Chains A and B, each alone.
With several copies, the nearest count.
Chain A
Amino acid sequence: MTQSLPGNLQVNVRFFAALGERLGRSEVRVAVPAGATIEAVWSAAVPGEPLPASVLVARNMEYSQPAQPVEDGDEIAFFPPVTGGRG
């Protein structure tokens, strides 16, 4: 469990597909300061590795951008390019 400090935002972070496999986890909770962006959420969840340019981000199940600020309780997802459908 992450420590809940005053002013901190609790965010649920999810990783999918090859990215989740590489990081060795699919879900983690992090605390970030108020005003933190999605990119800051990545840094809190994956310390020491910059957010790869090819990774897509979603906030509360809608596509978003790394510079988007997050709110308390958000679900932030990181995933590789999608490969659904067929043909």
Chain B
Amino acid sequence: MKVRVTEQPFDPWLELRAYQDSRDELAGRFGATAAFVGTMRDFNQGDAVQAMTLQHYAGMTERHLEAMSSRAAERWELLDSLILHRVGRLLPDDPIVLVAVWSAHRREAFEACRWLMEELKSTAPFWKKEETATGSRWVESNTPG
């Protein structure tokens, strides 16, 4: 179980792969991996977006993501989970978030992965500020899941 918040751009698929390879206890045991990656688009609510700044509540963010991961592991039979989230200034096509879950069977992996993403979007202390041609604006609310 790992949580990381980073100002550095990250490659979600390489990170996922490296994490999985580093976890000897997964070998031979996991049948199902479900992963979700959120990526910055170059448009939102009808406007072109040139860049974005992600603010967060350092300390609370990590604590909150770890608590979410623990709750998921209580609710479903999981072997492992990984959450990475970017903060700071992002450009279009930059990965923002990775959520990955390992389990023996696919139902648990799918359900836990989706639950973690919905929880993250609705409760983890991150805030987006978009830069458009007409200035910058705080994103007021997320799209419904």
Contacts and interface: CB of A to CB of B under 8 A. Distances in A.
* Direct A–B contact present (CB less than 8 angstroms): yes
A16 B125 contact: yes
Interface stretch (A5-13, A28-36, A39-47, A73-81): A73-81
A73 B98 CA distance: 35
B138 A84 contact: no
Interface string B42-65: 000000000000111101100110
Contacts of B117: 85, 87
A16 B54 CA distance: 11
A61 B97 contact: no
Q: How large is the interface on B (under 10, 10 to 19, 20 to 34, 35 or more residues)?
A: 35 or more
Given A61-B63, A62-B60, A80-B127, A85 B55 contact: no
Contacts of A81: 140-141
Contacts of B127: 16-18, 79-80, 82-84
B106 interface: yes
Interface of B: 31-32, 36, 38-41, 54-57, 59-60, 63-64, 85, 96-97, 103-106, 109, 117, 120-129, 138-143
